[in-house]
């Protein structure tokens, strides 16, 4: 998507990141104008350390990739490869696989089986709120984040990455809520605690990945 002819695609992924647009209009010479309702895209994949380091270097030094796309990969993790290896020869866990598929189907039908979801009159997007205890924990965490962002505790590229944690943490909390407590009409304390634990872990990984552009990367 760094190529000149891929700018429309790049723009789409930039906008579809937050899932708050009601319609995205996409113009193609051959196919004409396409209206995509409520676009929201998640990307799952991997990349080798070398190309990632080169891309981060360009994106953090005012290169063409410095448009915020890199910072939108908020669940980026770094493999912690053990030096120990042993062969495991066993059948896949069918029970676990079935449980995951059941969860996917539950999410697909959420707007039907969960009448507590409300429609926001301004955006017409279903939503839930934190309960009182969860809101207090989120507010306390966000106060610390805002202080760190505003007091130069992060370099600019990492600051842009961390600023998007304002939405990442509630998003994770909502996912945990849907998995375990979808019968409740508010996201509770348990879900936000899990989300904050993830945020702490992803904060450390983000620092490692972004600062890696200044030094050789390895898995040691």
3-state DSSP of 109-164 = CHHHHCCCCEECCCCCCEECEECHHHHHHHHHHHHHHHHHHHCCCCCHHHHHHHHC
DSSP 19: -
Top-confidence range, 27-41, 113-127, 176-190: 176-190
pLDDT at 115 over 50: no
Burial, 134: exposed, middle or buried (Cβ in 10 Å; 0-12, 13-18, 19+)?
buried
pLDDT digits over 166-209, tens only? 999 999 999 999 888 877 889 999 999 999 999 999 998 888 88
The arithmetic mean of pLDDT across residues 39-44, rounded, is 85
Beta strands in the chain (DSSP E): 23-28, 32-37, 118-119, 126-127, 129-130, 186-187
Q: Would you state the pLDDT for residue 65?
A: 60
The answer to whether the CB of 187 falls within 8 A of the CB of 131 is yes
DSSP 16: T
Q: How many CA atoms lie within 13 A of 70 on its CB side?
A: 27
**pLDDT-based confidence at 27, cuts 50/70/90?**
confident
Q: Would you state the pLDDT for residue 112?
A: 43
Q: Would you state the pLDDT for residue 201?
A: 93
Q: How many other CB atoms are found less than 10 A from the CB of residue 210? A: 24
């Amino acid at each position: 998507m760094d190529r000149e002819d891929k700018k429309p695609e790049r723009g789409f992924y930039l906008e579809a990141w937050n899932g708050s647009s009601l319609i995205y209009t996409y113009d193609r010479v051959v196919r004409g104008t396409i209206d995509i309702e409520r676009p929201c895209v998640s990307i799952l994949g991997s990349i080798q350390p070398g190309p990632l380091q080169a891309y981060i270097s360009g994106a953090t030094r005012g290169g063409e990739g410095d448009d915020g796309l890199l910072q939108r990969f908020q669940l980026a993790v770094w493999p912690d490869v053990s030096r120990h290896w042993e062969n495991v020869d066993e059948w896949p866990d069918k029970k676990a696989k079935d449980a995951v598929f059941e969860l996917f189907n539950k999410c697909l039908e959420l707007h039907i089986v969960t009448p507590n979801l409300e429609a926001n009159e301004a955006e017409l997007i279903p939503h839930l709120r934190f309960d009182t205890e969860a809101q207090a924990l989120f507010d306390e965490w966000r106060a610390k984040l805002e202080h760190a962002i505003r007091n130069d505790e992060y370099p600019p590229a990492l600051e842009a990455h961390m600023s998007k944690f304002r939405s990442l943490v509630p998003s994770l909390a909502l996912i945990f809520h849907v998995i375990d407590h979808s019968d409740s009409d508010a996201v509770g304390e348990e879900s936000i605690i899990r989300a904050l634990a993830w945020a702490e872990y992803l904060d450390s990984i983000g620092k490692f990945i972004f600062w890696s552009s200044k030094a050789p990367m390895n898995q040691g």
